[in-house]
Structure 1
Amino acid sequence: MSVQRSPPMVSAGSHPDLSKLRDESTNISFRKRKHIECNCDHSEVLLEFQNKIMQTITSTLETQNQNIITTLESLRQDVNGFRHDLETVNSKILMLSDEQTCIKKDVSDLQSINSINNSKMQTVSHELLALQTTVANLSDQLRVKEQQGRINNLEITGIPVTKGENLINIVHNIAKKINFPITTTDIDYIHRVRRFKAINSSVNTGESASNVTPIPNIIVKFTQRKRKSDMLAAVRARRGLTTADAGLDGPAKPIFINDHLTPQNKQLYKQARLLAKESDYKYVWLSDCKILLKKNDTSKTLCVSSDTDLAKIK
């Protein structure tokens, strides 16, 4: 039986095959050079890439810087414009403030003037009121004195004017009719007074009163007040006197005899009669030129001497 020998073992301290080692060494060194060349190519690429990135970043930063500069310049211009506008607004505000101050001063001056004017107006108003009161009182006194000057007079209405008329004869004829003896010493004077045309009234002819001249009344002034009052009492007792009773020819027309009132008292008497009629007063008459009213036989007599007394007629 043959014995197979195993290949000889190479100890750790033995030398290997040098040819093999050279081959391996050659291979190894070859691989190292190839690896180094590969590393050099990557560095260039990285460097190029890095340069491109830096260029991009630099370009971007320059662009951004330029944009920032442009934006800042625009903002600066806007700020300058806003500052200019703000200065303009402040200037206008100062101007308005000055104008407001002037207006306040003017208003204050006006208020002072108005206060002075109001004070003066109040003073003038009080003075005017006092003057009006004084004028009213003087007017009343004048009216009273004027009426007192007519206290001895009788006024005859309705006697037509005739050519060559004798007024004394007319008065004597009326006195005979009412049985009142009259003498020449009883009468101071007789005359006619012009009357104003009536407005918005009509006469028996149907014509407008504005187209008809009123007949002048006859005024008889007595020398004594008592004689005038006595004749007036006789006239009122007789009633219904006409032109025929005065001795006049033609159709008989009614005539009226009464106290000789002033124009103001005549108007007052007319208004008193209208109000008395509306308020159902039974009596309205004149006594010594005084306007008297009485609602019934038992009521008090009311005297109307001014317009304010008309309010008492109720």
Structure 2
Amino acid sequence: MAKKCNGCGKFSAASDRIKCARCSHYIHRACATNVSPVSKVPKWICKGCKPKTCSPVVTKDSERDCPLDTPSIESSLPFSKQTAQELNIAGSLMEQIKLLRSELIAVIREVSSFRQDISSLRSTLLEVGNRVDKVEERLAVLEEKSSSSTDSHFIKDIAQLKAELNERNQAELLNDIDISGIPERSGENFQHIVGLITTKLGVKLDEQDVVYVERSGPRRPYTVTGESPRPRSIVVRLVHRAVRDKLLRAARVRRGADTSDFDLDFEPARFYINERLTRSNRLLFHKAREEGRRNNWRYIWIRNGRIYAPIRYIRYTVVHRIRVENDVVNIFCTR
């Protein structure tokens, strides 16, 4: 007997149709998607009778109500797990993006604050540079003023302080005499040598008149050729200045005295007695004498540690005191 196909609604022969084992509906083999046209299917179930995938619990009513193309529960489980993993990954990415965005906003704010600080520093540096330029201009003006006047206020003050200090040091040496030209030997008796010199000059000098006697400065080394160095001068400090003046007057009267009649183990040598000077005064006196020889001046002398030089004019002579090197230049260059 011919039956209609439940799929296409056409009549079908008995050999060209199959029957559902549950609902007893007939359908063409060609209309059945999961049955080949030549295979024998003892129990075949149509799509309408297959289990529904809408809910885990499947009943007969739900099987009939579900659409034919709804996927099964087993086929939907892997897709749901993959979707959940993708959602989790997307959520974590979104959180990281939000964190990066917040950090980027903070960095932008810091950069903007840095820019403001840099702009303020730039303005401050410009102001400092302008001030430095003004200070340099003022210094240049002051240097020009100081270079134009060699005898500036500061130079005069320093020179005056040096002169005062030199005079104070010289005042401490007013009771000293300097004996030069006596050969130097090891183990020499200074008291005996000074006694021989004063006897030679005709001045009586007692032991209580002498404070101390010594050689001035460190011992000088021998020269490269092996010659003995120039002997150091003998410094004698006396108790009274009157005794010193007496010895200096006797030395000027007996100028050119030597050690010929001394009972000493060295050859006769001329000795000289002068006032003891500070190092600055010694250098200044040496320079004044050199300039005097160059200009044919005969008289440049020392009295009580002070250096004097006479300037002769047509009708009179003026004695000038030499305190500093500029005095030497002024005295000898004006002639």
TM-score by length of 1: 0.55
Higher relative contact order by CA 8 Å / sep ≥ 6: 1 or 2?
1
Q: Establish whether residue 155 from structure 1 lines up as the match of residue 185 from structure 2.
A: no
Quickly say closer, same or farther: Cα 1:212–1:195, change in 2 above 3 A: farther
Cα deviation, residue 244, structure 1: 2.9
CA shift, 1:141, in A, is 1.4
- Asked whether the equivalents of residues 241 and 254 of structure 1 are also in contact (C-alpha less than 8 Å), the reply is yes
2:243 to 227, 231, 238: 227
Equivalent residue, structure 1, for 2:208: 185
Counterpart selection for 1:138 from 131, 156, 161: 161
What's the offset of the Cα at 1:113? 3.2
% identical equivalent positions:
22
Distance 1:238 1:245 in 2: 15
Shift of 1:261: 0.8
Higher helix proportion (structure 1 or 2): 1
Q: Is the 8 A contact 2:163 2:323 kept in 1?
A: no
The Cα of 1:149 is off from its aligned counterpart by: 1.0
Quote the Cα distance in structure 2 between the aligned partners of 1:127 and 1:155: 42
Q: Secondary structure at the match of 2:300?
A: strand
Residue-by-residue CA offset, 1:219-268 (whole Å, 9 max, x unaligned): 00111112111111100100112233554333211111111111111111
Listed one character per residue, the Cα deviations across residues 67-97 of structure 1 (whole Å, up to 9, x for unaligned) are xxxxxxxxxxxxxxxxxxxxxxxxxxxxxxx
1:287 to 300, 303, 306: 303
- 1:74 corresponds in structure 2 to none
Distance 1:250 1:141 in 2: 42
Deviation string for 1:268-308 (max 9, x for gaps)?
Answer: 11111111112221212211111122366962222212112
Superposed CA offset, 1:127-165 (max 9, x none): 996554433222211111111111111011111222332
CA gap 1:245/1:152 in 2 versus in 1, 3 angstroms: farther
Instruction: Return 289-298 or 223-232, whichever deviates more.
Output: 289-298
Number of equivalences: 202
Deviations 1:170-203 (A, max 9, x none): 11111111111112222111111126869xxxx9
In 2, are the aligned partners of 1:157 and 1:217 still within 8 Å (CA)? yes
Paired residue secondary structure (1:300)? strand
Give me the TM-score of the superposition, normalised by structure 2.
Answer: 0.52
Structure possessing the higher radius of gyration over alpha carbons: 1
The Cα shift of 1:214 comes to: 3.2
**Residues 1:269 and 2:285 aligned together:** yes
Give 2:15's aligned residue: none
Q: SS of the residue aligned with 2:242? A: helix
1:126 Cα offset (Å) = 8.6
CA distance in 2, matches of 1:107, 1:258: 67
Partner of 2:7: none
Q: How does 1:12-31 map to 2 (within 5 A)?
A: none
Give secondary structure in 2 for the equivalent of 1:137.
helix
Kindly indicate whether the alpha-carbon contact (under 8 Å) linking 1:283 and 1:296 is maintained by their aligned counterparts in 2: no
User: Which residue of structure 2 lines up, in the alignment, with residue 303 of structure 1?
Assistant: 321
Letter in 1 for 2:252: R
Aligned match for 2:187, one of 164, 174, 177: 164
User: What is the Cα-based RMSD across aligned positions, in Å?
Assistant: 3.6
* Aligned amino acid, residue 160 of structure 1: P
Q: Which blocks of at least 5 consecutive residues in structure 1 are unaligned?
A: 1-105
1:17 is matched with: none
Partner Cα distance (1:209, 1:243) in 2: 27
Cα distance change, pair 261–209 in 1 and its aligned pair in 2 (3 A): farther
Residues 221, 246 of structure 1: CA spacing in aligned structure 2 closer, same or farther, 3 A cutoff? farther
Compared CA separation, residues 240 and 131, structure 1 to 2 (3 A)? same
- Going from structure 1 to structure 2, the CA distance change for 1:196 and 1:165 (only over 3 Å counts) comes to closer
CA 1:296–1:117: 2 relative to 1, 3 Å: closer
* Alignment partner of 1:118 is 2:137: yes
Given that 1:195 and 1:214 are in contact with CA atoms closer than 8 Å, whether structure 2 keeps it comes out as no
Q: Distance in 2 between matches of 1:177 and 1:247?
A: 12
Residue segments in structure 2 that go unaligned for 5+ positions in a row: 1-124
CA distance in 1 between partners of 2:173 and 2:214 (Å):
13
Q: Distance in 1 between matches of 2:225 and 2:288?
A: 23
Q: Does the 8 A contact of 2:177 with 2:276 survive in 1?
A: yes
Query: Could you tell me how far 1:110 is from its partner in structure 2?
Result: 5.8
Q: Please say if residues 174 and 245 of structure 1, whose CA atoms lie closer than 8 Å, have aligned partners that are also in contact.
A: no
Is contact 1:281–1:296 with CA below 8 Å preserved after alignment?
Answer: no
